[in-house]
Amino acid sequence: MNATPDAPADSLADSPVLLRREGRAGHIVLNRPRAINALNHPMVRIMADALDAWERDDSVATVVLTGAGERGLCAGGDIRSIHDDVRAGRVAASAAFWHDEYLLNARIARFPKPYVAVMDGIVMGGGVGVSAHGSVRVVTERSRVAMPETGIGFVPDVGGTYLLTRTPGELGTHLALTGTPVGAGDALLCGLADHFVPSERLPEFTGALAGTDAADAVREFAGEAPAGELAAHREWIDRCYAADSVEEIVDRLHASGDRHAKEAAETILAKSPTSLKVTLAALRRARALPTLEAVLEQEYRVSCAALASPDLPEGIRAQVVDKDRRPRWSPSELSGVTEAEVARFFEPTGTGSLGLV
């Protein structure tokens, strides 16, 4: 079912995205709670259509994004469908999904009205893309924000490499390679969120947006976030992750003498070697790109190239389909990933471009 901003609420109950108006606020509710609201192509289209309509509607002052259920805003893209597309040779379908998803990410970042993203609970991958580019990004004590792509044979996308290269020091490199989730305090430190609102006050906060400007609502309901963990580890993170290769990063982590650094090294070594090397290259390249749009164009090339890599379907199989948590990466070691193979991910593909730059 296609959801439209003007449709009656009861007609949208089965839609994967619910749209409603409360006063001067337009609400977008991701509505696949059993899948922690994982994004699929119809959801991206519904969101894009709603933003088109509400941008033109002078009676809508604010857009509010939330997720149905108790587990989180959004656990990412529907990667099981990507696995099925690759196995069936339907890679064009996944490329088309990413094309529209990344355009939506760019649209959210440039949306001219306040876009309030309530990043409560699990917010990962594609969930970061539809929230962390918004103008008002709210986390709670339950927030767990991550870009875990290297664990499924993929590379951070949805503008993730843009966000992660704008963090203090090398925090973004650490988060990208390890896929480590962060809580509210660290999300604020890394620039992935703007404000902390206790989860018990979210109904009041979102309700107030019906008649209150977003900035005023934030001032009324925001408070001090629980302390994060990353600031205490900046010394070894910045020193180790400044290395020019994944191999050297791992060596520095092991040699640092810090228990947390060694744990990070072991976490990295469990990820896809190809994904790790491509991710580091993508981050370094993204630092030199001037805009989110330019980074999204790069990510689109990388994502489409990943469809031809054996690690993407294998990683999804191990984590989501069979759930044995024992991916068989190919190659299985960092030393087996050549510079030529990494470079292949950044070459233009037959899927074209997003047309953003």
| pLDDT number for residue 12 | 53
User: With 60 as the cut, is the pLDDT of residue 11 above it?
Assistant: no
Token look-up 């020019």 returns 244
Cα separation, 174 vs 189, whole angstroms: 14
SS3 215: helix
SS3 345: coil
User: With 90 as the cut, is the pLDDT of residue 4 above it?
Assistant: no
Q: Is 350 a catalytic residue?
A: no
Query: How confident is the model over 182-223, as pLDDT tens digits?
Result: 999 999 999 999 999 999 999 999 999 999 999 999 999 999
Greatest CA span in the chain, whole angstroms?
61
Cα separation, 37 vs 17, whole angstroms: 9
SS3 176: helix
Q: Is 149 a catalytic residue?
A: yes
| pLDDT number for residue 350 | 82
Confidence at 351, pLDDT banded by 50, 70, 90: confident
Residues 165-177 have a mean pLDDT of: 98
| pLDDT number for residue 5 | 54
Annotated catalytic residue, options 126, 159, 160, 315? 126
Query: How confident is the model over 267-298, as pLDDT tens digits?
Result: 999 999 999 999 999 999 999 999 999 999 99
Cα separation, 323 vs 127, whole angstroms: 21
Cα-Cα-Cα-Cα dihedral sign, residues 102, 177, 281, 309: negative
Give 203-217 as a DSSP string.
Answer: HHHHHHTTTS-HHHH
Question: If you compute the radius of gyration of the chain from its CA atoms, what whole number of angstroms results?
Answer: 20
List Cβ neighbours of 347 (8 Å cut-off, separation of 6 or more). Answer: 301, 305
Annotated catalytic residue, options 85, 157, 170, 293? 157
Query: How confident is the model over 103-125, as pLDDT tens digits?
Result: 999 999 999 999 999 999 999 99
**Residue 195 forms beta bridges with which residues?**
138
**Can you read off the two tokens belonging to residue 294?**
């330019």
Per-residue H/E/C for 248-270: HHHHHHHHCCCHHHHHHHHHHHC
Q: Which uninterrupted H or E stretch holds 92? A: helix 91-109
Annotated catalytic residue, options 77, 121, 153, 179? 77
Cα separation, 120 vs 97, whole angstroms: 25
User: With 80 as the cut, is the pLDDT of residue 6 above it?
Assistant: no
| pLDDT number for residue 1 | 29
pTM of the entire structure? Answer: 0.95
Confidence at 90, pLDDT banded by 50, 70, 90: confident
Confidence at 49, pLDDT banded by 50, 70, 90: very high
Number of helical H runs and strand E runs in the chain:
16, 9
SS3 150: helix
Annotated catalytic residue, options 149, 186, 293, 314? 149
**Residue 25 forms beta bridges with which residues?**
22, 62
Q: Which uninterrupted H or E stretch holds 114? A: none
User: With 50 as the cut, is the pLDDT of residue 33 above it?
Assistant: yes
Query: How confident is the model over 72-81, as pLDDT tens digits?
Result: 999 999 999 9
